[in-house]
Chain A
Amino acid sequence: MEPVNERELVERCRRGDEGAFQELVERYKDLVFALIARTVQDRSRAEDLSQDVFLRVHRGLPYFRGEARLSTWIYRIVANVCLQDHARPKGGRHTVSLDEEAGPGQATISATDRRFGDLELRDRLEKAIARLPAHYRLVIAAHYLQGVQYEDLAEALQLPLGTVKTQLFRAKQQLRRLLETELK
């Protein structure tokens, strides 16, 4: 997105232009939803949390000073929402897995998956990811989504770039060990 357009969009939103805010939701909804759905691994919860993110963006826009990019600020809100959700008690929550509700496009198994033989392997991967700490899940989800750069993630999480990379490597190390041992 062009920075100028982003500034204009923010200004229009600040003036209470509902159409502008709708445009903002349209621009960022796929990234926000995918990031949250991959982190919480529950579609209906992910939709609720994604709406929470846009609600916070709406409330916070008057105070958004434009020092960071809008996308970075939104990632920061996503990170906070995901980590706060992880801290909440999970009792009685109905979960719908990502596979259950995946659309027709999602049912297409990629060539890589076929080579590994494996909806089963993918299932193991998802289970292993679910066992990671929330902040590791978040960096894994963000790094493997198109459009989220290390730099954006570091700024959003307010961590040095090196720390984000280290967290990612540790997350993958833990994931590899989980797949090797407990989930074999």
Chain B
Amino acid sequence: MFCDEALDAIEAIAAGELRPDGRIGDHLTSCPDCAAALEDARALERMLLARPTPRTPPQFTARTMARIRRARWRSEQFLDVGFNLAIGLVVVAIVGGVWMLLHRSGLTSVSNDAVDLFTSEAVALARRAAPSLPLYAGALALLASALGVWWWAERGTAQ
């Protein structure tokens, strides 16, 4: 039995997973270097067993849950933006397609007349609505404030 062979088994013996009998046992009793190595391995085993278990920081669960909520909120935001972008692209594609169709079929000149008519009607409507403009502006500001408060509250909940 060579020292190398015994030294390979030392960790298993120190951990109690291998019995030091037979040739290994004989070698360990006759070789002071290997016996010392076994003692060191046993001491190391005891130190590793006595190693203190790190304690989880207080509030770990709360902090982890908050981080998960933030991550989920972010991914939902990302999804929302992606969805809105996709809708926008679809709308642009449809409008572009319709315009190309009109252009190719020669209906653009007809649609130009329709646009002129629509513009003149819109101008007339704007003139009629002009005196009530401050009222509309106030209502719009109220609506914007309500939306802002809702957005802020949603953001707070998500975080």
Q: A30-B56, A98-B54, A172-B41 are in contact. Are A112 and B68 (CB under 8 A)?
A: no
| Interface residues of chain A: helix, strand, loop or mixed (majority) | helix
Once the chains are docked, how many angstroms separate the CA of A33 from the CA of B55?
8
Max chain A Cβ within 10 angstroms of own Cβ: one of B10, B11, B61:
B11
A18 part of interface (Cβ distance < 8 Å): yes
Given A25-B61, A116-B47, A179-B44, verify A106-B52 contact (CB < 8 Å): yes
In the complex, how many angstroms separate the beta carbon of A167 from the nearest chain B beta carbon?
11
Give which listed residue, B14, B40, B57, B63, contacts A179 with CB less than 8 A: B40
Determine if B48 is an interface residue (Cβ-Cβ < 8 Å).
yes
The 5 closest A-B pairs by CB, nearest first: A37-B54, A112-B50, A169-B11, A33-B56, A110-B50
User: Chain B residues with Cβ under 8 A from A76's Cβ?
Assistant: none
Contacts of A121 in B (CB 8 A): 47
8 A Cβ contacts from B22-44 to A: 37, 40-41, 43-44
- Which residue of B45, B46, B54, B61 is within 8 Å of A34 (Cβ)? B54
- Chain A contacts of B68 at CB under 8 A? 21, 54-55, 58
Contact with A along B1-33 (1 / 0, CB 8 A): 000000100111011010000000000000000
Chain A interface extent, by class: 35 or more
Supposing A55-B71, A144-B49 touch, asked if A25 and B44 sit within 8 A by C-beta, the answer is no
Binding site for A on B (CB under 8 A): 7, 10-12, 14-15, 17, 37, 40-41, 43-57, 60-61, 63-65, 67-68, 71
A47-86 at interface with B (beta carbon < 8 Å)? 47, 50-51, 54-55, 58
Q: Which residues of A contact B53 (CB under 8 A)?
A: 34, 145-146
Docked complex Cα distance between A58 and B70 (Å): 13
Which residues from A are CB-within-8-Å of B55?
30, 33, 102-103, 105-106
Q: Determine whether the beta carbon of B47 is less than 8 Å from that of A122.
A: yes
Contact between A43 and B51 (Cβ–Cβ < 8 Å)?
A: no
A121 to B55, CA, bound (A): 21
